[in-house]
Structure 1
């Protein structure tokens, strides 16, 4: 009867605290086991990503090597076929700008021109032109190289053969040739410079759009679409365009010389003409195409020296740059993870 009456619950604390302490230790142990498992899974996942990335890099290098070997094989084919007499062709097709798989790039074009002039079998060089123009810088670089190579190889004439269009920067390049051949219906000329610009200040105000552009120079936001044009800025930009235009005019006059049959300032006003009209005013020499030029020169064969950029290789190149960045980040994260684990 000594156990009666039973003691209150709060008086039996020792008996209840023992199981609670044991339970807390078990939870701590379980938490450590779970965290260790999670850490191990993260580590395994990171290593998995690392090795997958390494495998992809290996495959990428193999594919890129195959593509380059194919391109090299194509180059060897050109050099082999260039030993016999032929008309060397360099394409000026598409917009003239730096980069892009379907544009005319000065670096690639200059490389092609040098190979065409250097080939022992090339008797003349034909610029196969079908372009609306583009960058005045790229155009001038090609023009300068043609003029230089003409002086280095006086025995090889350069013919600019214009197809559908030889306008603006494309005509800039054509003017460096010894002769310009056109189709009667070709569009030729457009000797001028343009800088498109639009003003939407009124529209922005109606839509409640506020321009918060900040600059550290009063003219840094020159030609801003959301602000009325400053007369002084307009004068400056016009002077820049006029200067570039003057370079264009001088290049044409130097290239064409006395063959320009008219002193009409309209020639340099940005107008374009048909091929037949171009011959009459002296910005072209005669009508004809690549085949008629071959017959004229009594050459049966053409060899195209244009640098052919493989679109797939261009895509892979961009992928490679992005992959390289991602691969570097993966390795960095892996190293940081290992460092954190070692510190723990």
Structure 2
């Protein structure tokens, strides 16, 4: 493929959303009427036969099953088709107001976002009928500096179609039948030592930007008031009160399967049917840009955003981790 055609393909797959007016009408309450006038994007509707594909502009010869396993992490390898209606995104939207980023997911009618099995232990491949404690992740990842050399490639986390440059995530984790935590990730490390350094920067209210590999990141729950005493007792590392300019703001470093629930500033709501979810991430949780000292995410910026749903094997065919990732959207946070 020549360079011109490659550029055209990248342009066609990274969909560009024109700057929209601030939307001050969205309330995280499970009533989705406030999303009706927000631009909508579609994602392929997967089928059990695995004949629905996506592609990445960086690897255009690779046909990627729409829903797939979550352990293929080499960009030139095709992930295995894994059917799960609970992660089968068919529509998504992005919006913002003066202080927060919002995302909307809709899966197929027979899917339920956040659905997990309930049990006393993790999934056992040798005894798959045994009740297990399932997990489900609602993921939004952002290329904040629009620099493809910082952050991570999506495929490093098992997410396809891949794209480079993602610096930070905001996510919700469901575990063992219930909400567990909402948190942010800072992807600015390639090894354990760099991760420790990133942690120290986060405690100083700074979000770092460096080349990264997916497995090395900091994960923190953010509060705009002191966590409850129960949350403090269960906090794995912290909580740490952040320095100015924000008063009474705290972070607790967390991890998957943490002893939640933690009720920080990342919030969500589900539809009554369960196949729609809205999530809010205040800009404040992205801390301050380490290099500029300014808020990392603010009005006027243009960013790339990719959304994913991911879950453990219990309800998948075959019984593997299952994931679905949308096209990357270029989004401008207009000031009015």
Give the alignment's TM-score, normalised by structure 2: 0.22
More helix per residue = 1
Between the two structures, name the one with larger relative contact order (CA 8 Å, sep ≥ 6): 2
Bigger radius of gyration, 1 or 2? 1
More strand per residue = 2
